[in-house]
Amino acid sequence: MLIDVPDTALTTFRAMWAELDRIGVHPTGTRRYSWTAEDAALRKWFTAQASARGMEVHTDANGNIRAWWGGRPADGDAGVVTGSHLDSVADGGKWDGPLGVLLGFLAVDALAAAEARGEFVRARPVGVVDYMDEEGTRFGVACLGSKLMSGVLDPEKARALTDADGVSLAEAMRAAGADPDRIGRDDAEITLSGAQVEVHIEQGKQLVGLEAPVGVASAIWPHGRWSFTFDGVADHAGTARLVDRKDAALPFASTVLAARAVAEELDARATFGRFHVEPGGP
């Protein structure tokens, strides 16, 4: 079934995006991290958009926020959910995540207009979701909100996660007015999503080469993060003989190259995003 998009959709899109575009913007990119002032501003934007459409807003114990058109599903029922996330990677692109949330609200507009014309009958509630800390930039665990909700991540382990400044997730949540003691698996919230779809900006350049405006995913890359420690011995950079050196940067460099070679062989993806050398003398 095809539903006409309201003529005002583009104007609405631009107005919504203009508000989002101002949050967490830095000269080098977007910085929208979980449980921060920027995060609070994003959640305020989400709630305002939902309220303008008469949608019921609910935030679960893990920080995931949903807006329901047609009311929150009753016990035992399930809705159709769309959306994404509003947080960003460090200096990330503005469209990564927010586009899916914004278009979720515009989809509700289109459905509501079709319903008013008698062209659409809503059989289930429709939800728009913003998953908390999907990128995992601040505390190092991707999909933090949904992992907690689904029980994949242990709550005690999650509370002890720390950011680069040593602030724990528990401390950050309390500072933002949330209760870290309530996080964890939430079967009630899981059952509310009978079906879910996400619109996402393309993060590569494949569609350009295919001259395709839209791609539909048939699978998703499995995702993992690892931390390696390479031990060596600091020595004099100028006079210590090569044969006597135990330079930790060498096995690190070999690992980077090996990961790249294996990724090319398997048509996979691999990158090293952060490294730290001690004592770091030049």
- In the chain, what are the domains? 9-210 (3.40.630.10), 226-282 (no CATH)
Helix (H) or strand (E) holding 233: none
Distance CA 91, CA 75 (A): 41
Distance CA 5, CA 128 (A): 18
pLDDT in tens, 187-227: 989 999 899 999 999 888 888 888 888 899 888 888 888 89
Is the pLDDT score of 278 beyond 70?
yes
- pTM comes to 0.85
Q: What's the half-sphere exposure (Cβ side, CA atoms, 13 Å) at 21?
A: 6
For the chain, the first-to-last Cα distance in angstroms comes to 64
Is 170 within 8 Å of 155 (Cβ atoms)? no
Q: What is the pLDDT of residue 1?
A: 64
Mean pLDDT for all residues in the chain: 92
- The position carrying tokens 């190092």 is 140
For residue 28, what are its two tokens?
């080098």
Residue 274 has pLDDT above 90, yes or no: no
Phi-psi domain of 74 (left: phi exceeds 0; alpha: psi -120 through 50; beta: other): beta
Sign of CA pseudo-dihedral 23, 125, 142, 177: positive
In angstroms, the Cα distances linking 168 to 34, 118, 139, 159, 175 are 12, 51, 8, 7, 11
Cα 230 from Cα 271, distance rounded (Å): 17
